[in-house]
Structure 1
Amino acid sequence: MKIQEIKSNQQSKYNEIIEYLKQDNGYWLVNDKWDLTEEFFIGKKIYNSRYIDFSYFKNEYIKNEVKYFFLYKFKEKLLTNKGLARLNAPLKHFSEFYSGKSLLKLNREKTFHKWKIFLMSRDIKFDINEKSYFWFSNYLIDFIKDFYDDREETEKDIWYSKNIKGAKIPASGANHSNYNAINFSYIPMYYRETVKRYFKTIITKKSWMTCYNTAKYLNYFFNYFYSSDYGDGFIENLNRNDIEKYLYDIGNDRKDKNGTENSKYVSFIRTFLEYIQIAQYDKAPKKEVSFLIFQDDIPKRELHKDEVKKAKFVPEPILKQLDSNIMDLDRPQFIPIYILLRETGWRGTDILNLRFNNCLEQIWNNKEQSYNYYLCGEITKTGIAQLKIPIRDKVAEMLRKVINKAKVLSTEENNHKQYLFNTYEGKLKGKPLNKQSLLLTIQRLIKQKDIRDINGELYHFRLHSLRHTRAKEYVEQGIGISIIQQILGHQSLQMTVHYATVSENILYEKWKNTEDLELFKVDTKTNDLEKVDLNSDSGENLIRYEYVKKNLDAVRVPFGICFKASKLPCKQQMNHCLTCASFCTTIENIPEYEEEIEHVKKQIDISQRCGRELWAEKNKTYLKLLEDTLLRVKVQKIVHKNGKSREEA
């Protein structure tokens, strides 16, 4: 009975293949040679090749399965034209290699091994990194097996982003054929279900690319140990010596490569092992993970000062030329995108992810007794379900026109996701405008207007530099760093600090304001100035506070001043400054606490309404920290853990 059900299901799925190939008046089903120059296909030759030839396959069943693979990849835009042509190259050889009845019957690993031997026996030259000959059998088998598999996506060995409900996919991301699926078939069979179970816990909590990269690091980890004569069960019996070998070899393998990337080959592995141990998975390490991988084992990330140097700002003369000439873009649909990037400092993917049905909102301002316009959008990279930031009226007016136009042009068929900046026809119909196309359009404008850098070269523009530039403008305008963090949608304050630089002229103006050291305080009852009693403990604390606050070594942070020496690394990257021993706060910061507490309560409400429980819990933890600190400030007047130690060091 079960065999009959399986056969019945396979026949039903094969019938779907036949129906799919009947598109375009049955062209793909009837013809065994597909003409690339046909207008409904590519419209031109690729690599001097005109046809994709399936006539080499004698078995009709296999031929249609291979046809379906090619057509689906083409129709769903999962392959570029050149990629399609490259996969066409091994077709004839594969037809000679396999003459069975269905690709579904093939074992992936065994077939891959035989395919390599076959290619070498025919003296066919290939590069293991090239995506046609060498990996063709895997691509084909993975695709067909997934098609015939009707189980839930998370039960399969390949998870496609589009089939994972709740996956955090940016508007212009994860659609590329290189990143649209997480393939667990590379994980050894013994540990595959363990890894998939772990991924079920993170797939809707972390961004799609974080999950994709986690799979990449885990694959490297397993491949290292299995290729080093370790076998099934090695994780359960891991010891420190095993990890030291891994650390040594990975250090050599990735020598001179990006430090931040290198750290993930250790930190992501440790996170995985820690989780499966805490969750008491059957195949978790027996030894405590903290005794296997130490904190110091994780390669150092790039120094923050190096990251600041990488934060490329558009020079002011260049920026003025771009702003004044932007209306001359040869593709006018990109003009409002540029304006929103300049106005907000958001990422390009954040702007492209805007939806016309909810991206503009008016909120009542009690102080001004009027409505203010806010831009609203989801920041997928940091998991912010709904971020609202104020925008100027004239920008809102432009945005309203774009919204009205999108409403007129959009249908369920050409824009079912209601993108504000949508592609309405062609191969990319229903997807947002392409970020790379925007970049190329601006680069053409730079060439047309002859916009040159200080060396006389045409300015090398990068789209992300607009984000860095806007962040710097916010800082120079005196906006608090925590407000900038919220506007930019950063997850941590430390990331915002990377952008928080100012020009030399602004630095001079700020420095001038710190020249006079005011040894006075204000009586909160009478508003009179009182001279500080230098002999009292409170007076000594206040003078020390004023001195360090005026000193350029101190940094303004939310609710107070950070007294950390500039040479010391910040250990609070994943924590709030409120818990840092170098942090100092006083009663003058009370209004900030009260305002932030109200804001966090709103964020908790939004997170709960949007079903983002993880963010709600994090905000609740943050809220408790704020409320506890505020209470201490009201009682103690000034809170500074280090006391004199920071200044006497």
Structure 2
Amino acid sequence: MASGISAEQVNNGILALNRFATFLARPELNIESLADVHRNILERYLAELQTLGRTENHRRAIGQLGIFLTDIRRHRWDTSLPADAVLFTEDVPRQAKRLPRALAEHVMAQVEDPANLARWQDPVYRLITIILMRCGLRLKDACRLPFDCLVHDADGAPYLRYLNHKMKREALVPIDEELEQDIRDQQQRLLERWPAGVPVLFPRKLKNLHGQVPMRGDTYRQVLNPWLERCDTRDANGQPVHLTPHQWRHTLGTRLINRDVPQEVVRKILDHDSHEMTAHYARLHDTTVRRHWEKARKVNISGEKVSLDPDGPLAEAAWAKQRVGRATQALPNGYCSLPVVKTCPHANACLTCPMFITTQDFLPQHRQQRQEVLQIISAAEARGQQRLVEMNQQVLGNLDHIITALDQDDDTETADAG
């Protein structure tokens, strides 16, 4: 612990060693010393862990045991440990890739409601809640914010400075002027109680005569659910909402990705150490875009509905092709469904191309283009350019089919909403 390891990590190491020691104590193994702990013993232990389930606990147990075996050799605690008594990377179960546990927007609308935020009986808890929601800090980092946590750039824009305990480094996150004022109000309250100043923004309430000790995360967790009950916060099924403070961090990351904030910017705001951590939010965004794509009415140049089976065997391949098409073959008024490995034989003639697909999102562009085509036809007729008239008449007809089909879908959605 003197080297900076947390008490929780020390405890995890002790639990891992106790579990392994209990396994070695079995009479049938006949283990008398570390000299008897060969790779085959470790493999039997790994097999037993595998049968118990609880993958996350096993990852921790195996990781801590591997560190212990390495330290035995590093510090020469016991030179009798066999050379093959090692754990490899592939021995650790793969961690399941879970989507971020972001809160639904209608839940966020309730907890962000100023009237509900005013239901906090203590302004300290209200401020912590706002910081968690708007800045995406981990609860431990929010509770340990320093008193002088405000920083301004050359333009005078405010930032929140905090210590990212997980990465063991200081980080900055941009904030708005309203949150800056709330923090200054908290600083003023602390100076009124402790004129000499305190080192932390949120001192512990009790047994903290000089305000030196920061609030614990458990203290905030204990008051969170009673606040949610006072606000009568409910989910989509009308059931009371129970959430964890860390879900606000997931929600912020998801919101930023869904608003097309570049992934590198999201990584900086959340102070992730790797792009892979931030990629979890991008995976959710990809799922969201796909759901809207599958739900949208898609028509071709004749106004005929184009159906893609979301559950069929080609669903993943079709979505991958469409997503690549968005990136490489996006058109100002739709998408090209021609495989990207093929060259388009048409020169700027998408509205007469059978591979063209469009959705309701492009209705304004279609209506504007229809007006432009009408002007081209009128001008060509005046100049006697019959061939140009015929070519644009076909485009005009396809535009009429598209606009009519998409307008019908719009009317249907409006009636359903009513």
Specify the SS of the correspondent of 2:328.
Answer: coil
Aligned with 1:394 (options 178, 187, 195): 178
Letter of the structure 2 residue corresponding to residue 448 of structure 1: R
Q: 1:328 aligned to 2:119?
A: yes
Identity of aligned residues (%): 20
Asked if the contact 1:273/1:284 (under 8 Å) is kept, the reply is no
Which position in structure 1 is the counterpart of 2:234? 452
Alpha carbons of 1:405 and 1:519: their partners in 2 closer, same or farther (altered >3 Å)? closer
Asked if the contact 2:229/2:240 (under 8 Å) is kept, the reply is yes
* 1:17-75 C-alpha deviation (Å, 9 max, x unpaired): xxxxxxxxxxxxxxxxxxxxxxxxxxxxxxxxxxxxxxxxxxxxxxxxxxxxxxxxxxx
Q: 1:422 aligned to 2:206?
A: no
Specify the SS of the correspondent of 2:189.
Answer: helix
Which position in structure 2 is the counterpart of 1:264? 60
Letter of the structure 1 residue corresponding to residue 112 of structure 2: D
TM-score, structure 2 normalization: 0.62
Aligned mates of 2:47, 2:329 — CA distance in 1 = 56
Letter of the structure 1 residue corresponding to residue 254 of structure 2: K
Specify the SS of the correspondent of 2:157.
Answer: strand
Specify the SS of the correspondent of 2:173.
Answer: strand
TM-superposed deviation, 1:475: 1.1
Asked if the contact 1:329/1:441 (under 8 Å) is kept, the reply is no
Aligned with 2:21 (options 203, 206, 222): 222
TM-superposed deviation, 1:341: 0.8
Asked if the contact 2:163/2:171 (under 8 Å) is kept, the reply is yes
Unaligned runs of 5+ in 1: 1-160, 165-202, 365-369, 521-533, 536-649
Q: 1:247 aligned to 2:247?
A: no
Alpha carbons of 1:401 and 1:330: their partners in 2 closer, same or farther (altered >3 Å)? closer
Specify the SS of the correspondent of 2:34.
Answer: coil
* 1:481-515 C-alpha deviation (Å, 9 max, x unpaired): 23323322333332322333238765648x79953
Letter of the structure 2 residue corresponding to residue 376 of structure 1: R
Which position in structure 2 is the counterpart of 1:293? 87
Asked if the contact 1:336/1:398 (under 8 Å) is kept, the reply is yes
Alpha carbons of 1:348 and 1:516: their partners in 2 closer, same or farther (altered >3 Å)? closer
Aligned mates of 1:454, 1:313 — CA distance in 2 = 14
Which position in structure 2 is the counterpart of 1:474? 256
Asked if the contact 1:329/1:442 (under 8 Å) is kept, the reply is no
TM-score, structure 1 normalization: 0.42
* 1:301-328 C-alpha deviation (Å, 9 max, x unpaired): 3x20xx21xx322211121121112122
Asked if the contact 1:277/1:284 (under 8 Å) is kept, the reply is no
Aligned mates of 2:165, 2:327 — CA distance in 1 = 46
Specify the SS of the correspondent of 2:137.
Answer: coil
* 1:517-551 C-alpha deviation (Å, 9 max, x unpaired): 3599xxxxxxxxxxxxx99xxxxxxxxxxxxxxxx
TM-superposed deviation, 1:280: 4.7
TM-superposed deviation, 1:420: 0.5
Which position in structure 2 is the counterpart of 1:405? 189
Q: 1:314 aligned to 2:103?
A: yes
* 1:424-466 C-alpha deviation (Å, 9 max, x unpaired): 4458975433434434444334333333211111222322211
Which position in structure 2 is the counterpart of 1:372? 157
Aligned with 2:129 (options 302, 322, 338): 338
Unaligned runs of 5+ in 2: 294-321, 332-341, 344-418
* 1:534-576 C-alpha deviation (Å, 9 max, x unpaired): 99xxxxxxxxxxxxxxxxxxxxxxxxxxxxxxxxxxxxxxxxx
TM-superposed deviation, 1:405: 2.1
TM-superposed deviation, 1:354: 0.4
Alpha carbons of 1:348 and 1:405: their partners in 2 closer, same or farther (altered >3 Å)? same
Which position in structure 2 is the counterpart of 1:360? 150
Specify the SS of the correspondent of 1:490.
Answer: coil
Asked if the contact 2:12/2:64 (under 8 Å) is kept, the reply is no
Letter of the structure 2 residue corresponding to residue 274 of structure 1: T
Q: 1:515 aligned to 2:326?
A: yes
* 1:587-610 C-alpha deviation (Å, 9 max, x unpaired): xxxxxxxxxxxxxxxxxxxxxxxx
TM-superposed deviation, 1:376: 0.8
Asked if the contact 2:102/2:251 (under 8 Å) is kept, the reply is yes
Alpha carbons of 1:423 and 1:275: their partners in 2 closer, same or farther (altered >3 Å)? closer
Which position in structure 2 is the counterpart of 1:283? 79
Letter of the structure 1 residue corresponding to residue 91 of structure 2: D
Specify the SS of the correspondent of 1:515.
Answer: helix
Which position in structure 2 is the counterpart of 1:580? none
Alpha carbons of 1:458 and 1:273: their partners in 2 closer, same or farther (altered >3 Å)? same
Letter of the structure 1 residue corresponding to residue 172 of structure 2: K
Aligned mates of 2:268, 2:181 — CA distance in 1 = 23
Which position in structure 1 is the counterpart of 2:365? none
Letter of the structure 2 residue corresponding to residue 382 of structure 1: M
Aligned mates of 1:505, 1:231 — CA distance in 2 = 55
Which position in structure 2 is the counterpart of 1:32? none
* 1:360-381 C-alpha deviation (Å, 9 max, x unpaired): 11122xxxxx122111111112
Which position in structure 2 is the counterpart of 1:493? 275
Q: Describe how 1:152-171 pairs up with structure 2 within 5 A.
A: 164=2
Q: Describe how 1:587-626 pairs up with structure 2 within 5 A.
A: none
Letter of the structure 2 residue corresponding to residue 217 of structure 1: A
Alpha carbons of 1:503 and 1:437: their partners in 2 closer, same or farther (altered >3 Å)? farther
Aligned mates of 1:505, 1:499 — CA distance in 2 = 11
Tell which has more relative contact order, 1 or 2 (C-alpha 8 A, sep 6+): 2
Asked if the contact 1:377/1:388 (under 8 Å) is kept, the reply is yes
Alpha carbons of 1:320 and 1:236: their partners in 2 closer, same or farther (altered >3 Å)? same
Which position in structure 2 is the counterpart of 1:642? none
Cα-Cα RMSD = 3.5
Aligned mates of 2:25, 2:265 — CA distance in 1 = 49
Q: Say which is worse superposed, 400-409 or 318-327, in terms of deviation.
A: 400-409
Asked if the contact 2:34/2:81 (under 8 Å) is kept, the reply is yes
Specify the SS of the correspondent of 1:361.
Answer: strand
Which position in structure 1 is the counterpart of 2:406? none
